Amino acid sequence: MNIIDTGSNINPIKDQKSSVKNIPLFQIKGAEYLLKTKSYTNIIFQSIPSVKFFNDDEFLKNKNIYSMGTSTQNYLSQKGIISICPDVPGSKELIKILAKNKNNGKYLVVKGADGLNDVFNYLKESGEDVQEIICYKRFKLDSYKDIKKDFYNADAIIFSSTYAVEIFFHEVYSADINATFFGISNRIIKFISDCGYKAKFIDYFSEDILESIKKSI
């Protein structure tokens, strides 16, 4: 079975059977940022790249750390950082957690350029002291010609961001591709649906992701 993971190669699916091929559809580069203060008490990471390109890990000690979903939480844990995240990944569920854990502190949202604003807007509209920093940017590849052929024989394609979905249907998709599409969140699945295609949910960090995909196809 040929399975393609379109997520960034920062933390691709670990598959001992080598059945999952990581083919990123975009590049990620760090961006310079400035912490206006070190008095933040609550730090929110919206993605794996927001963790990778945040260069002030020492600053995270004794802070309340939140992550948008399990993948980001797992990446933080690899760096020895414990975070709180919703059972269902996404802004909506994270906001519910933040609403229950208000502590009159200062919030910092760490994200990428063009990242979601839902959490920041919720905190700001709720009267919280919140700021955000942009620590990375995403860029399309110079060309998609050389990777298109890899998708023609795919049985399953996994999307971990709406940006990858957008690029796929604009730069890669062909009627010759008969793969089943999978999204790692309801938001991504809806985005694929809005593009006119069906997708199924997949637990990105499931121990039996291969079996889950096989049963879904």
d(CA 134, CA 157): 29
Q: 113 CB contacts (<8 Å, ≥6 apart)?
A: 31, 134, 136, 137, 138
Q: Is the pLDDT of residue 18 over 60?
A: no
- pLDDT-based confidence at residue 16 (cuts at 50, 70, 90): very low
Contacts of 199 (CB under 8 A, 6+ apart): 159, 181, 182, 183, 188, 189, 192, 193
* Residue 130: per-residue pLDDT: 97
Query: Beta strands 129-140 and 106-112: pairing type?
Result: parallel
Tell me which amino acid residue 11 is.
Answer: N
Q: Say if CB 164 and CB 27 are below 8 A apart.
A: no
Q: Which residues are CB-contacts of 216 (< 8 A; sequence separation ≥ 6)?
A: 180, 182, 200, 202
Q: 3-17, 66-80, 88-102, 126-140: which has the highest mean pLDDT?
A: 126-140
Question: How many other C-beta atoms can be found within 10 angstroms of the C-beta atom of residue 39?
Answer: 10
Q: For residue 196, how many C-alpha atoms fall within 13 Å in the half-sphere facing its CB?
A: 3
150: left (phi over 0), alpha (psi -120 to 50) or beta: alpha
Which residues share a beta bridge with 93? none
| Strand, helix or coil for residue 127 | coil
On the question of pLDDT at 19 being above 90, the answer is: no
Amino acid found at 112: G
Say which residue the tokens 């760096």 belong to: 79
Pairing of strands 129-140, 26-30: antiparallel
Mean pLDDT in residue range 145-152:
94
Which pLDDT value is given to residue 15? 47
80, 109, 143, 159 from 172: Cα distances, Å: 38, 33, 10, 13
Q: Is the pLDDT of residue 88 over 50?
A: yes
What angle separates helix 118-125 from helix 91-100, to the nearest 10 degrees?
Answer: 30
